[in-house]
Every structure is written in structure tokens, then in C-alpha cells.
Amino acid sequence: MSKLQVLTPENSQLIFIDHQPQMAFGVQSIDRQVLKNNTVALAKSAKIFNVPTIITTVETDSFSGHTYPELLDVFPDAPLLERTSMNSWDDQKVRDALAENAAKGRKKIVVSGLWTEVCNLTFSLSCMADTDYEIYMVADASGGTSEDAHKYAMDRMVQAGVIPVTWQQVLLEWQRDWARRDTYDAVIATVQQHSGAYGMGVDYAYTMVHKAPSRSSHTGETQSPFPAATQIAAE
């Protein structure tokens, strides 16, 4: 593999590490609702392109709580690889799942997890030390206990060879060409739901420029303006 190769649905796999409430409570590097939005958007992106996805958890019942329901709803049949170690690489189930996908040419490992400075960092360094996998760290679908904790963990990983990315970058890199119609509609739907100003712009262009119907299922009538009598009298 080469870091000069773009991400494709065929050379990638994805791992979510510890997206659990107790871990999210400690995140201070990003708004936690934004973090959840980005994480779910990344999951939907992987599902669109059939990118194999691993979900691993730590101390679910004794400390960390259950994985975001919104994330599990994207992959309702996915096994949850429970661990005790903060470093996912210490668990053989995780190694085996990654290796199974890597054997099929999926050696670009896209990573989203909590916390950046612990679980993401130790996994990335250990994984790269033992394999020829490449790590693509989704910075805006990961979070640390402070801005500095996240930043310096990202810096340390980049110095070691990890490639920093964002969730939307991953989505659009997988799509690559808008002529790929089999995934076009699903990609646009994900953008509309999760991409903030970009998604709002797409909605505006579709409805106001191209006169497409609204995505909403709203059926109520639109009532015309009716100035109040007091306003008419004042004039």
C-alpha cells in the first residue's frame, strides 16, 4: 500500500473505538453533539460503500456504558468486540477482525474513537509497529479530554505516520466521482443530514434552483400572509 493512494471502498476498513457515554462525558476538544453527528455520519458513509466496519467497546457494563444507539442503528447486526485494555490492539478479537479484512487488500484502517490521547493513540502506534497497515485518523469523529490532549495526540500520531482526515473527506474520497450514480443519492442524503452548511446548501439548490420537492414529509398547508388589523390602522 502507499499513502499516495486515495482511500477507496476496496482498500479501506473502519474501526470505531469506545463511542460510549462515559468516554464521551470526558470529551472537551469538540462539542459532544457535533462529535456524535460526525461519528454517525462516518458510519453511514461506510455503510453506503460496504466498507467493513468494526465496533469495539471497553468495560461496557462496569464503567463506559453502551455504544451510541444512533451508531448501532447503522450496523444493527455488527458484533461488539468487548475489551478490558485501553489499547484495542491488545485484544486478539480486534487483531483478527482487522487481519481478516486486510487479507483482502483492506490495509488502510480508518479510525474513529475516544479518547484521542489514549485509545486512539495507543492503538495506532501498536498497530503500525506490528503490521504494514496504514492508519487514517478521523480527527472530527474523535475526541480528547482537552483541546491540548487531542491536538498533541494528533501531532504525535502524525509524526509517527498516521494520516489525519475528517469524516466528510473520507466520504467524498470514497465517492470520488459524482458520475457514480449507484452511491450518489445515498451520499447526498448523508450530506443533507449531517454536513451542516454544505447540506443546507444542497437542500437549497435542489428545492429553489432545481425545483425538487422538499425532503420533509410535512403535509400541512402554507397559509398566506394576513396583516393584523392593528398594523393596518397604524399605517
Q: Which of 33-42, 52-61, 199-208 has the lowest mean pLDDT?
A: 199-208
Distance of alpha carbon 157 from alpha carbon 164, whole angstroms? 9
CB 20 within 8 A of CB 58: yes
Q: In what order do the strands lie in the sheet with 12-17?
A: 80-83, 53-58, 12-17, 108-113, 134-138, 163-165
DSSP state for residue 161 in the 8-state scheme: T
Which uninterrupted H or E stretch holds 106? none
Q: pLDDT at position 3, please?
A: 85
Q: pLDDT at position 232, please?
A: 61
- Three-state secondary structure call for residue 97: helix
pLDDT at residue 97 is higher than 80: yes
pLDDT at residue 160 is higher than 80: yes
What residues are labeled active site? 119
Confidence of residue 230 (pLDDT cuts 50, 70, 90): confident
Confidence of residue 231 (pLDDT cuts 50, 70, 90): low
Give mean pLDDT, residues 24-45. Answer: 98
- Three-state secondary structure call for residue 63: helix
In tens, the pLDDT along 106-142 reads 999 999 999 999 999 999 999 999 999 999 999 999 9
More confident residue, 235 or 119: 119
Give mean pLDDT, residues 190-200. Answer: 96
Give mean pLDDT, residues 128-157. Answer: 98
pLDDT at residue 234 is higher than 70: no
Distance of alpha carbon 227 from alpha carbon 204, whole angstroms? 28
Q: pLDDT at position 2, please?
A: 82
Dihedral over alpha carbons 173, 153, 44, 87 (to 10 degrees):
120
- CB within 8 A of 214, min separation 6: which ones? 203, 207
In tens, the pLDDT along 47-69 reads 999 999 999 999 999 999 999 99
Q: pLDDT at position 235, please?
A: 62
Helix, strand, coil proportions of the chain in percent (round to 5)?
50, 15, 35
Is the bond into 115 cis (omega within 30 degrees of 0)? yes
Terminal CA-CA length for the chain: 74
pLDDT at residue 233 is higher than 80: no
Confidence of residue 165 (pLDDT cuts 50, 70, 90): very high
Confidence of residue 176 (pLDDT cuts 50, 70, 90): very high
